[in-house]
Amino acid sequence: MANIITTSGKTPTRVKESMGYESSEELIEAIVKAKAGDEHAVSLLYAAFNPGLLRFLKARIGSESEDIASEVWLAVARNIGTFQGDDRDFRAWIFATARRRSIDHLRRKAVRPRLSSVHDANDLSDISGFDSPSDQLEIDEAVAALIHGLNAKEAEIVLLRVVAGLSVEEVAQVVSKSAGSVRVIQHRAIKRLANNFRSKQ
């Protein structure tokens, strides 16, 4: 089983901290240094964003998520020299790139996004019984369960909010919708998830 690595050493209560993200100031500094070719800064950015990136892509395209994640990082490498913005902008950029990459990938494959979990509803209850995530499998199952039964747009927005850690406004920009539309869709998604759980009780 994979061990959890807590790079920040903080209690994982929020996305920003729980996925090993450093502070905003540290990330901004890392972005500046990465633009200048600082390997340590690149490593820090990778550690901060790759876990979420992989989870997002795995939920959308499955087994080829690592390939697409690699492409995302290469695209970032090629274009970071002209990037302007803070850590929030950087995060939005990475996930916008990942989203488009995954769309391209799915289009090439002519398949629909993975929307439903490979697990049935009984698995959801099992997962919810765990007190703390301790390995990759549990995380993958939880992410999959989180979009189980949702339509494509709902799943995408939930993933961008929860796994990517984007705000409503940032998600709205990424998916080219208004903030109001995003709020409506995420509300509908949460309601649907709750209904799914209630029906299994």
Partner 1 sequence: MDPISQETVEELLRGNSSPQALSPELAKVAHLMQIAQAPATSNELAGSHSAVEAFMAAGQYPISTGGKEKVLSKFLSAKAAIAAAAIALTGGAAVTGALVSSNRPASIPNVATVNPSTQGDSPLTNSGSTSTLATVVGENQGMVSGHSLFGLCTAYFATTKSSTGSSVPSSGSTAFTQLASVAAANYTATNTSSVAGFCTWVLKNYPPGTLSGHGKGSNASSAGSANASQGSSHSGGGATPQGGATISSSAPNMSVPPVSLPGHASGASSKHS
Q: In the range 104-123, which residues lie near partner 1 by CB under 8 A?
A: 104, 107-109
Distance (Å, rounded) from C-alpha 74 to C-alpha 141?
28
119 contacts 144 by C-beta, under 8 angstroms:
yes
Note whether 23 binds partner 1 by CB under 8 A: no
Give Cβ neighbours of residue 35 (< 8 Å, ≥ 6 apart).
80, 81, 83
Per-residue tokens: 95: 């996930």
Binding mask 139-178 for partner 1 (x = CB under 8 A): x--xx-xx-----------x--xxx-x--x-x-xxxxx--
One of 26, 33, 80, 153 touching partner 1 (CB under 8 A): 80
Least distance between partner 1 and beta carbon 40 (Å): 9
**Given the complex with partner 1, which of 102 and 152 has the nearer CB atom?**
102
| Cα 190 from chain centre | 17
To the nearest whole angstrom, how small is the minimum distance from the Cβ of residue 153 to partner 1? 15
| Choice between 25 and 66, CB closer to partner 1 | 66
Nearest distance, CB of residue 71 and partner 1, angstroms: 6
Of residues 62, 69, 55, 20, the one with CA closest to residue 146: 55
